[in-house]
Structure 1
């Protein structure tokens, strides 16, 4: 008895605490639903699983038929439809055992009973309490009460003082369930259900002990999980706070109006700034601070000295530059002719012989000192294919260019081309004529 009262006291304390918390939640607006919104913005269907301990002792304590209540396991489930924020309809199913010993009348021959509740099905109204909180959109704890009607089927086994047993077969009886408890929202889909329910049986045969016209009853403390069906993006109707949604709507409208006022003030400040800038620009249209004939708004070079000639943007005009004329002297031509005369290659190759280096070095010095441009034109005789001669003439001109660049000449001022056997200066019928046709011509400019 003391153990049962201690459990009952803890349950009442927990329920009182849940009522005082008034469903504390975070201020997240992810579960916000606009007031009077149409359609189906909520999740209203859920299923639950429960398990707990049954006892012939209840909160409505009086003298039971048996002195000692032996708590036994009961379990079951339910399906629930939430109709309103504070009202739902729940269809439940439970089964388990009840047990008691020590008859209150010492002369009663039965020492102990064990009743198997094969099923207990009922339909209950579930009223959710304290789901209105001005600071929260979604409740975290929802206290509730429930009541309804149901029908059960049970069978009892009686244990006599002399050691014999007897059984009473299937018995059906109506009962009235009355419950209370609270649910914790563990997540968008799962709730923890803690509660206590007393079932008032319409008869005195649950324990097969008849004492006058007294009806039996039993209680069950349970814990379970409730799974809310539907899209997790939608809030639970039972946990939703309609008053907080209306308050949030009011605050959002207030913020929107304040935002419009702040935006209008910012526009006024911007218009004032634009007007001041426009007045300043108008003043600059006629101001020429440095007196160069270009107004300040277009003057990219302000504060030019008096008398300085400027362009249309107010910047000083550049001083005229006298071009330097480059003249090719007769000495320069002589150096080039000597280089052409002394230029020799390895037979059939583009490799320059060392005896040609000194005269080529003098040509390179002219190119460096006077920044002349030079065209190198390679030629061959008619011995061999046209394709081979064209390649050899080009390679020899490039070889001369490469050597001059090594000596410091500017490569961008040297052009190397090959003409093959297409431009002979002598007859290719004699060895002397072919020798003259194998050449690289230098054109200095």
Structure 2
């Protein structure tokens, strides 16, 4: 077993003015402060229906729960590839593919992400357009609202085009402008901006790989930086969408449509390298070609500072403790030895990697941290890796008043017990996992 890769949170946060739309296309490199929480909203069509949209939400961009499905059915046509933003008017908007052939894209709106109202189909004013696919919102740092859409006249000459809203109601749009340097034969182009650089992730229709190009202007010219199987995602892949994570990284989702699976992968070094693809828990093989909107909303949970003990939700006589430097859950009671009570007591301090999260020290000042995904108690060596390994971010647990502790540097992995041993495991869409990874913060045993 080899040591897992250290995280390099190098992406800078992009700060928007108050008038800017809330989108999932820019990075926010910090967990939200107490009293607030990160919320990820997914809009997707499914393997079972191209005419119904499902809506999901998640606290961590990994474990999504259904809000409503179907949540929206257009008056006619399809609802493939729904892309979501929240506008300055506080409303949510989707744009979507209306049909396999044709020259329109559809728009709908909602105040609550659950109930949706059809707005209109917009005709793309380009002569000879036969296919109008995968429209994606992109809100630039100047506040302009854009849709990036793949257009083709022959079915084999797809290129990405930009439409820009000319009014705040999003009812009027400019003539389409091609993103130069991409295509022909590229579809599903998804754009994010980091600093002054635009990054386009686009599917090469011949090789079926997702490739990466950059530009200093939204309309290009784009230069390809990574082609072929550069990220280790394999092929065929499509339907890619990106979202920023709380630790400064980026997550990409993509559809392995020939194997019926949906994957995600993370990057922490400016999109140069990516983690090995993992299946999206619970939704792989069901949800298709979606986008994910990140917002900070009120609410959330915290772990109070000071001396505390953590009681297992599904084994309430057992508590988090360390034994021979390794984390476990063991029975603790009033008749337990003083040493056992002390081993099951931790001091909660601001997270070493992010003060809006938490770190846990034992009586001797050593920290709970993960190493090869196993929980252990180690002395702080001052390294960035240690600080990240020893930082956990509180999310709502499976029982009322409980918390789950997400790994800071492995988003989607949670502190959980398995055979009473503590480790950080990738979220699983099961009641057992949710209970195994939930703890109640109680008064300290020592």
Q: Which bin holds the TM-score, normalised by the shorter protein? A: under 0.3
**Which structure dedicates a bigger proportion of its chain to helix?**
1
Question: TM-score scaled by structure 2?
Answer: 0.17
**Radius of gyration: which is bigger?**
1
**Which structure dedicates a bigger proportion of its chain to strand?**
2
Question: TM-score scaled by structure 1?
Answer: 0.17
